[in-house]
Structure 1
Amino acid sequence: MNKRRLGLLTGTHAVNDLYQGLVPALLPFMVLERGYSYTAVSGLMLAATGLSSVVQPLFGLYADRHPRSWLVPVGFLVAALGVVLAGMSQSYLMTWIAIALCGLGIAAYHPPATVAARAAGGASQKAMSVFSVGGTIGASFAPVLAATVVGGGGLSRSYLLGVPAVAMGVLWVTATARRGAVAAAAAAAAARKQAAGGVMKPHNDWRAFSLLVATIVGWSIPYVTVLSMLSLRITRDLHGTTFQGAAALTGFTAAGAVGVLLGGWLGDRIGRMGTIRSGYLLALPCLAGLVLSPTPGWALACTALLGMSMFLPFAAQVTLAQDYLPRNPATASGITLGLALSVGGLVSPLFGMLSDARGLGVTLTVVLCVLCVATVLALRLRNRAPVIPPVEAEAAAAA
């Protein structure tokens, strides 16, 4: 494990996902200052998330065919530029284009950065979990940063939001310039060795990968639904306070970060398949407990356990996807982290309509059934020996 390289990539992940979190964090200020309607706000979120999810696999394909380490800093710098321009723009059209630009930067960052983190971490599942939590930490700081910068002086001060990306860009250049030649030489030597020896990467297992994608889709739908309906469930159905609703949402997110780290630790000890199956099997009774909770207190406890359980498989699923497609690890990352995870958001309006018609209890029961299907699919997943491509491994070790 190259801890220095992994630490640098984790820092870039925190900065990149900071800008992913800044988009929804800035929307209330845009509504107040510019008078945007809810429809206009929905259009901006579509520009940020929908476009990013669709194009992320395309960036994965490009990164697999033409490995370029500069995509990592360019990704979070473009994301920062989009956020800054969105805050400084006066027209809705320019704001929409700027936020779409932010989504493109975020999409460009994730596939190559995830592959680089896997190479730096070697066979360790804990390494991937640390990298993943970096993004969670960055996103969690977004509301605070938005309130501090924009809340005190209006959207005209949005240019200050670019400071974290510029600082990380300087750090990236400083840290990589000194070792760039060494890493390039190591990669070239590994490529020559692989070509001379006739070494071929194992074949892509698209059938197994498709099963994994279906499993992640079945995970995404309950996750997004619980995230969007949790506060209402506690305040309206269980007659809890607004503080309890907010506490449940915070606890769900924080427990997810703990689950990612715990899942990486377990993956190195009991194996990633045991971690994946344990996460899904533990999540079922926790979600059932949330559906059947008679009081806000029980709902809070079940929510925390649900967040931890649902994120136990996260890091293991990322590395398993890359090992199912060893010839296209960046594409695997783009599909699993982009397209598959976004399905929950795409179908969320349908569950909103169901909640309006039948109530939140019925909606949560339906997503519990979806999670049951995902659990069955997870139990059918089979492990595959970790594949760290020699070029990436030797270059990461030298960097």
Structure 2
Amino acid sequence: MNLALKNEKQAVKPKLAARRELFSLSGVHFINDLMTTGLVPALLPLYKEAFNLNYFQAGIILFVSMLTSSVAQPIFGIITDRNPKTWFMPVGICLTGFGLTASGYAPAYWVLLLLVGLSGIGSGIFHPEAMRGAYMAAGTARGTAQAIIQVGGNFGQAVGPLLLPVFLIATGLHGLGWFALAAIAGLTLVLSVMPWYRRSLAENKARQKKIIGRNHVAGLCLLTAVVILRSWTQIGVAGFLPFLYLHQGIALKYGDLLTFLFLGAGALGTFIGGRVSDRISRKWLLFSSMAVTVPFAWLLPHVHGVLSVIVLFLFGFFVLSSFAVTVVYGQMMFPKNIGLVSGLMVGFGIGAGGIGATMIGWLSDLYGVTAIFGFLSLLPLAAALLSLLLPSERSLLSSSNET
């Protein structure tokens, strides 16, 4: 790491500017992602049975959810960069909750798609403004702030599948009506931070006008490619791990628990990686996290018993230890476009990962589930190599007065 950059980071002790508001936003992020990327994929078997769908029609449900909640986020980010809208967060969480709960009572398949899409749009509206809130609450601890808010979303994604066997299998789709309470809790948290958020937007608008320098377009494109490769790895493992364990003779219910372990380890890695990035080079932390992931990705289908649990945990930890890092890194490249960057790093990357999972499924049909994990080990390797081409933090800082 560059010694001057290290000394510069150590000279400013990382400190959050608005801790309470940041944790509130993290709680809303948990609820939002629980009701979208956490639950919708897990609900596909129930939707399929209730509407007598084939696998293609069930896949369309997931496609609509990802398209509206993830891929559209950069679009909402561009809109809010030009004119931040304080009402986007409360409206977003309300749409997310209404779409999910109402889908349990949909009378027809096309209505189900409409409601799932509405829920996804709510999530797409919510994310860019929530990430802007985390940016303003960060103070000098940007990595820590992003880690806190992203861990909320990561745990929401991890907990969602656990609710299926615990709750929804017993209640059926009508049990989704209870998630209206979760939406109300999310709305309450959002409303509690709105006075602070309005004040901070006014202060941040004045500060943004003072930022000089240019956006680093090539750097952001490379970083987006790294995020997509990481997302393909994460979603590929989370989606096909149960099939790997079924192939090895492990019951599906245990496979779901191991998937939760993988995603939970990723949430822990997100938090620790974000905190560490406030003190060391984000570029080298990103490279290291991707490089260290490679051997665990390769080992996973070849180990069994306790060793497989250890390998899976470390795999999940390292592959997502750069999650918060990439958001902050992207914000350094486009300091005047926080919403756009957040949409690319958080939304588009995950959405593209879901599309990539379709290709991984096709390869699994051709070569088998075990062989596909060898392919997955190449993705973080490619991401590590691409990360070496990213601009250094020192060059980004020197082209802007943003610190």
TM-score (norm 2): 0.86
Question: What letter is aligned with 1:245?
Answer: G
SS at structure 2 position matched to 1:118: helix
CA–CA separation in structure 2 for the residues paired with 1:142 and 1:368 = 26
Deviation at 1:282, TM superposition (A): 1.0
Structure 1 residue 213 and structure 2 residue 224: aligned?
yes
Change (3 A) 1:34 1:242: closer
Change (3 A) 1:96 1:187: closer
Question: What letter is aligned with 1:101?
Answer: L
One of 134, 138, 143 as aligned partner of 1:117: 134
How many positions carry a matched residue from both structures?
380
Deviation at 1:79, TM superposition (A): 0.7
Q: How does 1:71-150 map to 2 (within 5 A)?
A: 71-124=88-141, 125-143=143-161, 145=163, 150=168
Structure 1 residue 288 and structure 2 residue 294: aligned?
no
One of 234, 238, 256 as aligned partner of 1:246: 256
Change (3 A) 1:272 1:137: same
Alignment partner, residue 190 of structure 2: 172
CA–CA separation in structure 2 for the residues paired with 1:189 and 1:219 = 35
Could you report, residue by residue, the CA deviation over 1:306-339 in whole angstroms, capped at 9, with x for unpaired residues? 1001011111101111111112111011112122
**In 2, are the aligned partners of 1:80 and 1:161 still within 8 Å (CA)?**
yes
**In 2, are the aligned partners of 1:202 and 1:327 still within 8 Å (CA)?**
no
After the TM superposition, list the runs of 4 or more consecutive aligned residues in structure 1 that deviate by more than 6 angstroms. none
Change (3 A) 1:9 1:281: same
Could you report, residue by residue, the CA deviation over 1:80-120 in whole angstroms, capped at 9, with x for unpaired residues? 11112211211111111000111111111111111210210
Deviation at 1:26, TM superposition (A): 3.0
**In 2, are the aligned partners of 1:320 and 1:383 still within 8 Å (CA)?**
no
**In 2, are the aligned partners of 1:201 and 1:327 still within 8 Å (CA)?**
no
CA–CA separation in structure 2 for the residues paired with 1:315 and 1:65 = 24
Deviation at 1:194, TM superposition (A): 7.1
**In 1, are the aligned partners of 2:96 and 2:120 still within 8 Å (CA)?**
yes
Structure 1 residue 271 and structure 2 residue 289: aligned?
no
Alignment partner, residue 213 of structure 2: 202
Deviation at 1:382, TM superposition (A): 2.9
Question: What letter is aligned with 1:359?
Answer: G
Deviation at 1:142, TM superposition (A): 2.9
CA–CA separation in structure 2 for the residues paired with 1:376 and 1:71 = 38
Question: What letter is aligned with 2:266?
Answer: G
Alignment partner, residue 59 of structure 1: 76
CA–CA separation in structure 2 for the residues paired with 1:61 and 1:135 = 22
Could you report, residue by residue, the CA deviation over 1:250-288 in whole angstroms, capped at 9, with x for unpaired residues? 221111111111112221232323321221121011112
Alignment partner, residue 354 of structure 2: 345
Structure 1 residue 298 and structure 2 residue 307: aligned?
yes
CA–CA separation in structure 1 for the residues paired with 2:378 and 2:162 = 36
Q: Which moved more, 1:209-218 or 1:341-350?
A: 341-350
Question: What letter is aligned with 1:160?
Answer: W
**In 2, are the aligned partners of 1:240 and 1:296 still within 8 Å (CA)?**
no
One of 222, 229, 232 as aligned partner of 2:243: 232
Deviation at 1:147, TM superposition (A): 5.8
Q: Which moved more, 1:78-87 or 1:222-231?
A: 222-231
SS at structure 2 position matched to 1:380: coil
Alignment partner, residue 35 of structure 2: 19
**In 2, are the aligned partners of 1:290 and 1:298 still within 8 Å (CA)?**
no
CA–CA separation in structure 2 for the residues paired with 1:137 and 1:193 = 33
Deviation at 1:152, TM superposition (A): 4.3
Q: Which moved more, 1:293-302 or 1:45-54?
A: 293-302
RMSD: 2.6
Structure 1 residue 325 and structure 2 residue 334: aligned?
yes
Alignment partner, residue 397 of structure 1: none
Deviation at 1:218, TM superposition (A): 1.8
Identity %: 27
Change (3 A) 1:141 1:187: closer
> Which consecutive unaligned segments of at least 5 residues does structure 1 have?
394-399
Structure 1 residue 358 and structure 2 residue 367: aligned?
yes
Structure 1 residue 35 and structure 2 residue 57: aligned?
no
**In 1, are the aligned partners of 2:27 and 2:189 still within 8 Å (CA)?**
no
Change (3 A) 1:210 1:235: same
Question: What letter is aligned with 1:16?
Answer: N
> Which consecutive unaligned segments of at least 5 residues does structure 2 have?
1-15
CA–CA separation in structure 2 for the residues paired with 1:366 and 1:147 = 31
CA–CA separation in structure 2 for the residues paired with 1:188 and 1:152 = 48
SS at structure 1 position matched to 2:392: coil
One of 64, 81, 104 as aligned partner of 1:47: 64
TM-score (norm 1): 0.86
CA–CA separation in structure 2 for the residues paired with 1:143 and 1:360 = 21
CA–CA separation in structure 1 for the residues paired with 2:220 and 2:124 = 20
